Amino acid sequence: MLQSKLFGKTSKTKEADATSINHELLVRAGFVDQLMAGVYSYLPLGWRVLDKISDVVRDEMNKVDAQEIYLPALHPKENWEKTDRWDKMDVLFKLESQTGSSYALGPTHEEVIVPLAKKHIASYRDLPGAWYQIQTKFRDELRAKAGLLRGREFLMKDLYSFHASEDDLKDYYEKMKEPYLNVFKRCGLDVIITLASGGSFTDEYSHEFQVETKNGEDLIFKCSCAEARNKEIVGDLKDGDNCPECGKAVEAVKSIEVGNIFDLGKKFSKDFDLKFTDEDGKEKEVIIGCYGIGISRLMGAIVEVSNDDKGIIWPKEVSPYEYHLVTLGDDEKVYKQSEEVYDDLVKSGKEVLWDDRRESSNAEKLNDADLIGISTRLIISPKTDGKIEKKERND
Ligand code: ATP
Ligand code: MG
């Protein structure tokens, strides 16, 4: 890609209404544009990153035998009434058709996938099953002020697993922690597995995947003796208090929830009458698990923890391009050489953004390269004397 033709300009000026690092840097570097609070357009650089994160997630989900599907975002009201969430879910966006019918914009998809599963699951032979999608979710969030971290429209991976027994679900649930950890590692993030409330459906806990950062909206308590715990389940525990398990002092840290896995038990099977016949011919309710990753929040979280005073530092696997080729000066010979290098790299299948802008100063080009944050930079200038200088953004 030639930078002179790239849709999306960088900007030096501070974003007036930026309330978070990820919003500030992603807008200034030309990755996203805010349409209104919590709603963003993705420009080519931003879309490439989102796509790469999605591909990492797909790769890991496919490894645990989950199959990708795509469900509608527009849901009939009846399904949400069946689960008793039409009136109870405060973030549910509701709309009315010109014919008077009511709909919800999906904030999550149990109301769609469980009735769908009912058409395909009849016997124990149809179980287990695991299906996932990467799709736009809508939530009427009151505080959509943290850039991509809290959208009112955002991208999520949601996976639903269906089992004949609680034990089978437990196995799959435990197995899922590994691909989850892989996803976050490949995105350059250290995560803390954290016990949290399981929602209203089970007495069991759910597990969240939390990224520690001072800009996080969550508060979690760490202790060396066991899993971290979300504030929501620890009562009035404070930083430095004694751990209820081992008595040592707990550490309270702010964090961002990038993923959450749940045991939903039989709640939705009961609502939609999803049953199967077991080996003895007995009818039983299907046991369901649900596994979310906030793909766009993940992109925001990466920027929150991986940046310096000059801009973003993308981890290699989700960098919008592999190489940022930067030509300095306006020497004809140097441009010719750069063009050859660019062509060669592209021919060998590399992803390259070439800063071929003739009218920009060297300082402007280098500042932009730092701001955009592509993981590996290749510099060609009259000083490099026919050679290429290679530099990693993170050193
Ligand atoms: P939160 O507590 O932050 O509001 P949640 O627990 O309600 O999130 P889940 O229902 O667990 O969210 O959704 C699964 C994942 O989707 C979350 O772990 C998070 O990464 C992501 N997510 C949830 N809400 C948003 C949002 N408003 N914007 C972006 N990502 C979100
Ligand atoms: Mg959650």
**Residue listed under structure tokens 């896995």:** 261
CB 264 within 8 A of CB 202: yes
Name the closest ligand to CA 292.
Answer: 1
Q: What is the pLDDT of residue 385?
A: 83
Cα(315)–Cα(310) distance, rounded to whole angstroms?
Answer: 16
CA 73 to chain centre: 18
CA of 136 to the centre of ligand 1 (A): 12
Indicate which residue's Cα is closest to atom 1 of ligand 1.
Answer: 257
Residue predicted with more confidence, 107 or 199:
107
Task: Tell whether ligand 1 has an atom less than 6 A from the beta carbon of residue 137.
Answer: no
Q: What is the pLDDT of residue 342?
A: 98
CB 132 within 8 A of CB 82: no
Q: Is it the case that residue 359 has pLDDT exceeding 70?
A: yes
DSSP label at residue 2:
B
Q: What is the pLDDT of residue 203?
A: 63
Cα(266)–Cα(390) distance, rounded to whole angstroms?
Answer: 56
Task: Tell whether ligand 1 has an atom less than 6 A from the beta carbon of residue 216.
Answer: no
Whether omega for the bond prior to residue 128 falls within 30 degrees of 0, making it cis, is: yes
Which stretch of DSSP H or E encloses residue 294? strand 287-294
Cα(92)–Cα(80) distance, rounded to whole angstroms?
Answer: 10
| Number of neighbours of residue 303 by Cβ within 10 angstroms | 27
Name the token pair of 349. 């299948």
Reference 293, options 134, 74, 72, 113; nearest CA is: 134
Reference 139, options 152, 158, 155; nearest CA is: 152
pLDDT band at 200 (very low <50, low <70, confident <90, very high): very low
As a whole number, mean pLDDT of residues 4-25 equals 89
| Number of neighbours of residue 90 by Cβ within 10 angstroms | 9
CA of 246 to the centre of ligand 2 (A): 27
Reference 224, options 244, 250, 205; nearest CA is: 250
Phi and psi dihedrals of 379, rounded to 5? Answer: -110, 130
Cα(373)–Cα(369) distance, rounded to whole angstroms?
Answer: 6
**Residue listed under structure tokens 């544009």:** 33
Ligand 1: nearest atom to the Cα of 258:
20
Q: What is the pLDDT of residue 199?
A: 52
As a whole number, mean pLDDT of residues 306-327 equals 98
Reference 300, options 32, 9, 30, 14; nearest CA is: 32
Task: Tell whether ligand 1 has an atom less than 6 A from the beta carbon of residue 300.
Answer: no
What does each C-alpha distance from 152 to 37, 145, 305, 381 come to in angstroms?
A: 8, 10, 22, 45
Q: Is 180 left (phi over 0), alpha (psi -120 to 50) or beta?
A: alpha
CB 139 within 8 A of CB 105: no
As a whole number, mean pLDDT of residues 43-66 equals 98
Which stretch of DSSP H or E encloses residue 174? helix 166-186
Q: What is the pLDDT of residue 87?
A: 97
Ligand 1: nearest atom to the Cα of 259:
18
Task: Tell whether ligand 1 has an atom less than 6 A from the beta carbon of residue 153.
Answer: no
pLDDT digits (tens, 9 = 90+) for 76-104: 999 999 999 999 999 999 999 999 999 99
Reference 110, options 88, 85, 87; nearest CA is: 85
Mean pLDDT score of the chain: 95
As a whole number, mean pLDDT of residues 271-281 equals 97
Angle between helices 295-305 and 44-63 (to 10 degrees): 110
Indicate which residue's Cα is closest to atom 13 of ligand 1.
Answer: 292
pLDDT digits (tens, 9 = 90+) for 335-356: 999 999 999 999 999 999 999 9
Task: Tell whether ligand 1 has an atom less than 6 A from the beta carbon of residue 257.
Answer: yes
Name residue 230's beta-bridge partners. Answer: 220
pLDDT band at 228 (very low <50, low <70, confident <90, very high): very high
Cα(317)–Cα(98) distance, rounded to whole angstroms?
Answer: 46
Q: What is the pLDDT of residue 14?
A: 80
Cα(297)–Cα(308) distance, rounded to whole angstroms?
Answer: 19
As a whole number, mean pLDDT of residues 371-380 equals 98
Ion ligand 2: residues, CB within 5 A, are 260
Give SS3 for 168. helix
